[in-house]
Amino acid sequence: MSVESTETNPLRALSPQDLRAHAAEALTRARERSVALTDVDDEDLVRQHSKLMSPLVWDLAHIGSQEELWLVRDVGGREALRPDIDDIYDAFQHARADRPELPLLGPEEARKYVREVREKSFDILEKVPLQGRRLTEDAFAFGMITQHEQQHDETMLATHQLRKGDPVLHAPAPPPSRSGRLPAEVFVPGGAFTMGTSAEPWALDNERPAHEVAVEAFFIDTTPVTCGAYAEFLDSGGYEDPKWWSERGWAYRSEHGIHAPRFWSREQDGWWRTRFGVHEKVPAAEPVVHVSFHEAEAYAAWAGRRLPTEPEWEKAARFDPATGRSRRFPWGDEGPTPEHANLGQRHLRPAEVGAYPAGVSPLGVHQLIGDVWEWTSSGFEAYPGFAAFPYKEYSEVFFGGDYRILRGGSFGTDAAAIRGTFRNWDHPIRRQIFSGFRCARDARPGEVA
């Protein structure tokens, strides 16, 4: 059932001139990040660092190709720059493992192409009406392309994590914990809340429409599961005991010889990890990252808990019991700042749990946005009243597949590409992504916080 949205959206209050400036800033920030991530030697740019990922040069030119298709040709009605490469950079036509064999644009040609496309996009942004057509209403198409580029930036960041050799990316450490001792879990009352959005101008189709969902009372972890807590599962033999694993999860773990989160190794003095070319001791207070859905599910079973459903996660993140409304973000309706969340590749790692007290939800749940994508137990399905827009291949073709929903974004997600309603999805075996989790449990009859 569709319901009237209870959100207040600052974007809707902008004048046309300010909206254009906002879109231009978002596009510029995305491009600056793309340039930084591809500022490597040509050999690194064209190499396939893992069969799971495309060469960085493919991602760069694909970013330009999508921008040309939507902003230059569709929104702007301009002549095509490179129609000859449409098929090469169509992600549905070529699996990642096969992309190095395609006649890809070389490094300099790819850089030149994306610059030319962006020049035309900015010219179109200055001239196109931002009303009268759904694709351009509230600058949606420019927001869609910004999010697309930022999503590929996060994919390229994951490629850098798979890259061998000395570090080429650098960033300051995230802030330490500033919250003191936190309770282990938070009580979330049962009842209905507004899930999804009908008011977010740049929300993608799978986030729409706003609708009422009822959940039973439950408890959810105050913070994501930490490396220290996860190491207890490892050290107790959790990866050697099938009773904690689903049948599928155990079969995958066994077939691939998985004994720890990806990039972890056991050494004489404990657990170590490799992070963007740096070998370091695993930090106990940080959220665990690079675990699959199967691993998260096994840990939850070992801990006597479970993974939250997608509606549970969103209620914990957005529901304000004082007003009964759903917020855009856990802290309110204003967009994230560096005080709220670890986003935008400002740091190349999750922050310690408790590092962002300004980002806490009304119910008292911490770090729901940023740091690590959080696995939920839910599959990827359409909301009631879903309508594909502006093309079926963004969401609709993935509904009902072998996917699990992840929520909240990671340290590699930009603020333009995350909000309390944003839905990510991936196969339950994925570990190269910046994925972690938190646990939940049912509330017993009469149990409150």
Each residue's pLDDT, cut to its tens digit, for the chain (449 residues) gives: 445 445 667 777 888 899 999 999 999 999 999 999 999 999 999 999 999 999 999 999 999 999 999 999 999 999 999 999 999 999 999 999 999 999 999 999 999 999 999 999 999 999 999 989 999 999 999 999 999 999 999 999 999 999 999 999 999 999 999 999 999 999 999 999 999 999 999 999 999 999 999 999 999 999 999 999 999 999 999 999 999 999 999 999 999 999 999 999 999 999 999 999 999 999 999 999 999 999 999 999 999 999 999 999 999 999 999 999 999 999 999 999 999 999 999 999 999 999 999 999 999 999 999 999 999 999 999 999 999 999 999 999 999 999 999 999 999 999 999 999 999 999 999 999 999 999 999 998 888 75
Enumerate the domain spans of the chain.
10-162, 176-449
CA distance 57 to 110: 7
Specify whether domain 10-162 bears CATH 1.20.120.450: yes
> Known binder of ligand: residue 97?
yes
State residue 6's pLDDT score.
56
Specify whether domain 176-449 bears CATH 3.40.50.960: no
> Known binder of ligand: residue 148?
yes
Half-sphere exposure of 242 (CA within 13 A, CB side): 7
CA distance 96 to 156: 13
State residue 10's pLDDT score.
75
> Known binder of ligand: residue 259?
no
> Known binder of ligand: residue 99?
yes
State residue 1's pLDDT score.
41
> Known binder of ligand: residue 98?
yes
Q: What is the pLDDT of residues 120-168, one digit of tens each?
A: 999 999 999 998 999 999 999 999 999 999 999 999 999 999 999 999 9
Check if 10-162 and 176-449 are the same fold. no
Global pTM? 0.96
State residue 205's pLDDT score.
98
> Known binder of ligand: residue 49?
no
State residue 339's pLDDT score.
98
> Known binder of ligand: residue 111?
no
> Known binder of ligand: residue 347?
no
> Known binder of ligand: residue 39?
no
